[in-house]
Amino acid sequence: MISSPFDPMTILIYDGTWYGLLSCIFDVYEYKLKKISVTTKELFQPDAFSKTHEVFTSPANAERVLKGLSKKLSPTGMASIYSCHLSELPEMASVIIRYARLLFSSGISEKAYGNPDVLKIAQVAKKVGRERHRMKAFIRFRLTQDDIYYATIEPDFNVLPLIVSHFKNRYADQKWLIYDTKRSYGVYYDLHTTEEIQLDFAENPEKPTDTNIFAENEEQYQTLWKNYFKHVSIDSRKNTALHLRHVPKRYWKHLTEKQV
Amino acid sequence: MSERIREKLAILADAAKYDVSCASSGSKRKNDNKGLGNTGNGICHTYTSDGRCVSLLKILLTNFCIYDCAYCVTRKSNDIQRTAFTVKEVVDLTISFYRRNYIEGLFLSSGIFKNADYTMERLVRVAKELRLEHKFNGYIHLKTIPGASDELMKEAGLYADRLSVNIEIPTESGLKLLAPDKDRKDMIQPMNFIKQEIIQNKNEIKLFKKAPLFVPAGQSSQMIIGATKETDQDIMYTANSLYKNFNLKRVYYSGYVPVSHDSRLPSFDSAVPMLRENRLYQADWLMRFYGFHVKELLNTETPHLDLDIDPKLSWALRNPNQFPIDINKADLQMILRIPGIGVQSAQKIVSARRFQRLNWENLKKLGVALNRAKYFITCNSTEFERRNLSSMQIKQYILASSSSKYLKSNVAQLQLF
Ligand code: SF4
């Protein structure tokens, strides 16, 4: 699509969801839009000069776009765009739409890192991937009295959807709940399936952060782990800078071994 | 239970920490019995204050020992508190830690009480109970006891993901000096046995898909660095022969931490040779992932690795006739040899140049450390290093441009290429 300076700019307004974003891409083609920018309903601020186009989130349209993309991209490439969406970085919606247009129109390769959008997708996907990996490592479960292993997280990016299958495979024989307190939703596994849930802390005075909900032995194991952690460090090799690079301070709040 | 277990854990984790291997990768045990856990790429769940990966519960079963190896805290003559876990205690700790996502599994080693088989039999029992009674599919690394019987080794291999036989001291003469009770043969023989069993198991699996796994993550070994007067050449040639002869997955280099006033050893206040250890790991990586032969890195003219620059830069400076390399034409093997370019950037370069000829800006974006690479390459640009610099000058320029990174003595990261 070639745009001329006289084409009017269209602002796409969508609901911020993954399917919403894919529906944007669908509409770009459906309505032959040329110059566009994209924003969410939440962030949209009307101005007098631009045309707006409200995108209706359609699972069917979204799936068609996904199918189209999967013909242009490797499975890793597909996962990368989804990761970029989950990054929640404000500029990524436009980057993803531009990238999709590049893929569909010029058939650019996902490895043509000389192109700034291609490179950006790879870089952001890598950042999200790194945090996804960190969450697999840094989640700490505590056993509740109802026999549920419970963990809270506050990742920079919305990586919870990316780690569910890992935990489901690994902890197939225990009930668990991972809760993103920053985004106020969690995923619960009941020994069979996983589902997204929201906890209402306001109505439930027994917050899962209160110690009285945890199993009797729970604290002992935490103490043992903290002790273990203390004893495996070799003092004559201390290297705080390196330690901090691997375990950045913002993650400490949820790490058992970092609690006093 | 708590107080007693806590005390034991403190003592037996303390004694185990000198074994630096922490890998929990290389095994693909699936959780297909709806049991607990699986193995994959290995995750570091946390890092020690010295920045090392914590991925396994690494403990000794006991720190009682009938041997007296001079370099070891657990040696018989050392006046320390001794204790032992029961099999059940180790199993319970492993499961409880694993369920809380603290660890990827267990690394169990032991001092030798009574005799080799008596000790090995208990290590095997821990692994067996975890696998059979608790349907545990997490990672298990057992350190084998030199001199244990083939039957026990074989059984260990059925339950463990990895077995290790530590070579301890890089040279045979060093071992004689510091651990007179030990015999190199008792280390080589089990390594060979494990290697043969692994090969046989691979063939069995080809024939019957359901054949039981035998140490799927292979075997590893560890050497203590700087306890004797060995050269880096001694160390890396030994490592190379272990990789070649016994198909080892990893060799670990552990800078000697002073634990004794013994006159045969470096004095009690000597520093841990961490920078040297780091250089050895880099050389090891160059051998395994960058296509370098050990003789290119170390030989009679260069028996030690440079401490102030990494071994790849050091090789490049010794071989100026190989440079400059044209980034847009050279094959991957050669690009991997350029200082400042790691495996990932090298692969990205080869992918990206199919679509456009790369210039300095592109290279920088692909993660190349230009401050080092620029002396060794040309690219799609009329600008390149035209001065006819000597290796000595290049070294000085590079050191000056990255002094903080190179001259600090506590460099412990590996991504220096
Ligand atoms: S046999 Fe092992 S535990 Fe015992 S003293 Fe020697 S190295 Fe230490």
The pLDDT tens digits for A117-139 are: 999 999 999 999 999 999 999 99
The band of B417, judged by pLDDT with boundaries at 50, 70 and 90, is very low
Q: What is the rounded CA–CA span in Å between residue B350 and residue B337? A: 14
Please name the amino acid found at residue A141: F
Residue A53, classed as helix, strand or coil, is strand
Bridge partners for A176 per DSSP:
A149, A189
Higher pLDDT, B65 or A5: B65
Q: What is the rounded CA–CA span in Å between residue B393 and residue B399? A: 10
Identify the pLDDT of residue A4.
56
Residues of B in contact with A229 (CB under 8 A): 46, 48, 54
Residue B266 contacts residue B227 (beta carbons within 8 Å):
yes
Does position A18 have pLDDT exceeding 80, yes or no? Answer: yes
Q: Which two tokens stand for residue B137?
A: 């599919």
Residues of A in contact with B43 (CB under 8 A): 133, 136-137
Identify the pLDDT of residue B31.
83
A107-121, A178-192, B18-32, B94-108: least confidently modelled range = B18-32
Identify the pLDDT of residue B405.
46
C-alpha radius of gyration, chain A, whole number: 22
Q: Which two tokens stand for residue B62?
A: 């006991």
pTM here is 0.85
Residue-averaged pLDDT of chain B: 88
Identify the pLDDT of residue B206.
86
Q: What is the rounded CA–CA span in Å between residue A175 and residue A149? A: 6
The pLDDT tens digits for B41-62 are: 788 888 888 788 889 999 999 9
Interface with A, mutate which of B3, B53, B102 (most A CBs under 10 A): B102
DSSP secondary-structure letter at B90?
H
Which ranges in chain B are annotated with CATH 3.20.20.70?
A: 3-297
Give the position of tokens 């040639």: B237
DSSP secondary-structure letter at B281?
H
Q: Which two tokens stand for residue B365?
A: 């974006």
Residue A79 contacts residue A125 (beta carbons within 8 Å):
yes
C-alpha radius of gyration, chain B, whole number: 23
Q: What is the rounded CA–CA span in Å between residue B67 and residue A257? A: 35
Q: What is the rounded CA–CA span in Å between residue B366 and residue B356? A: 13
Bridge partners for B220 per DSSP:
B164, B250
State how far the alpha carbon of B95 is from the alpha carbons of A178, B91, B140, B208, in Å: 20, 6, 12, 31
Identify the pLDDT of residue A201.
67
State how far the alpha carbon of B11 is from the alpha carbons of B84, B108, B110, B374, in Å: 9, 14, 12, 51
Complete DSSP assignment for A61-72: HHHHHHHHHHHH
Does position B411 have pLDDT exceeding 50, yes or no? Answer: no
Tell me, yes or no, if B350 comes closer than 8 A to chain A by beta carbon.
no
Tell me, yes or no, if A112 comes closer than 8 A to chain B by beta carbon.
yes
Does position A205 have pLDDT exceeding 60, yes or no? Answer: no
**Which is nearest to A12 in space by CA: A4, B112, A29, A2?**
A29
State how far the alpha carbon of B215 is from the alpha carbons of A16, A69, B56, in Å: 48, 41, 17
Bridge partners for B162 per DSSP:
B141
Partner-chain contact A243 B412, CB within 8 Å: no
The pLDDT tens digits for B338-359 are: 999 999 999 999 998 898 899 8
Identify the pLDDT of residue B416.
37
If you measure from the C-alpha of residue B149 to the centroid of ligand 1, how many angstroms do you get, rounded to a whole number?
18
The band of A211, judged by pLDDT with boundaries at 50, 70 and 90, is low
The pLDDT tens digits for B275-325 are: 899 999 999 999 999 999 999 999 999 999 999 899 999 999 999 999 889
Residue A93 contacts residue A37 (beta carbons within 8 Å):
no
Q: What is the rounded CA–CA span in Å between residue A244 and residue B50? A: 10
B10 φ, ψ (degrees, to nearest 5): -60, -50
Question: What CATH code is assigned to B3-297?
Answer: 3.20.20.70
Complete DSSP assignment for B341-374: --HHHHHHHHHHTTTS---HHHHHHTT--HHHHT
**Which is nearest to B168 in space by CA: B177, B160, B159?**
B177
A38-42, A56-60, A108-112: least confidently modelled range = A108-112
Q: What is the rounded CA–CA span in Å between residue A25 and residue A96? A: 9
B356 φ, ψ (degrees, to nearest 5): -160, 155
The band of B40, judged by pLDDT with boundaries at 50, 70 and 90, is confident
If you measure from the C-alpha of residue B227 to the centroid of ligand 1, how many angstroms do you get, rounded to a whole number?
15
Sign of CA dihedral B202, B208, B211, B216: positive
Does position B413 have pLDDT exceeding 50, yes or no? Answer: no
If you measure from the C-alpha of residue B179 to the centroid of ligand 1, how many angstroms do you get, rounded to a whole number?
9
DSSP secondary-structure letter at A214?
B
- Distance from the Cα of B283 to chain A's closest Cα (Å) equals 21
- Distance from the Cα of B247 to chain A's closest Cα (Å) equals 29
Residue A188, classed as helix, strand or coil, is strand
Q: Which two tokens stand for residue A77?
A: 């490439």
Name the CA dihedral angle for B354, B360, B366, B371, rounded to a multiple of 10 degrees.
Answer: 140
Sign of CA dihedral B241, B181, B221, B48: negative
Residue B339 contacts residue B319 (beta carbons within 8 Å):
no
Does position A238 have pLDDT exceeding 80, yes or no? Answer: no
Strand B46-47 to A194-197 pairing: unpaired
Pocket probe for ligand 1: among B12, B14, B67, B178, the residue whose CB has the most ligand atoms within 8 Å is B67
Does position B409 have pLDDT exceeding 50, yes or no? Answer: no
Residue-averaged pLDDT of chain A: 88
The band of B90, judged by pLDDT with boundaries at 50, 70 and 90, is very high
Q: Which two tokens stand for residue A195?
A: 């589902």
The pLDDT tens digits for B149-166 are: 999 999 999 999 999 999
A190-199, A228-237, B371-380: least confidently modelled range = A228-237
Residues of A in contact with B410 (CB under 8 A): 239, 242
Q: What is the rounded CA–CA span in Å between residue A203 and residue A9? A: 47
A-chain residue closest to B362, CA distance: A114
Q: For B48, which of A138, A170, A232 is closest by C-beta distance?
A: A232
Q: Whose CA is nearest to atom 3 of ligand 1?
A: B111
* CB-facing half-sphere around the CA of A203: CA atoms within 13 A: 3
State the CB neighbour count (10 A cutoff) for residue A169: 15
Which residues surround ligand 1 with Cβ inside 6 Å? B 65, 67, 69, 72, 74-75, 111-112
Does position A208 have pLDDT exceeding 60, yes or no? Answer: no
Bridge partners for A38 per DSSP:
A12
Identify the pLDDT of residue B412.
40
The band of B380, judged by pLDDT with boundaries at 50, 70 and 90, is confident
If you measure from the C-alpha of residue B75 to the centroid of ligand 1, how many angstroms do you get, rounded to a whole number?
6
The band of B272, judged by pLDDT with boundaries at 50, 70 and 90, is confident
Strand B250-255 to B219-225 pairing: parallel
Q: Which two tokens stand for residue B200?
A: 């046989």
Question: Over pLDDT 90: what percentage of chain B?
Answer: 56
Question: Over pLDDT 70: what percentage of chain A?
Answer: 92
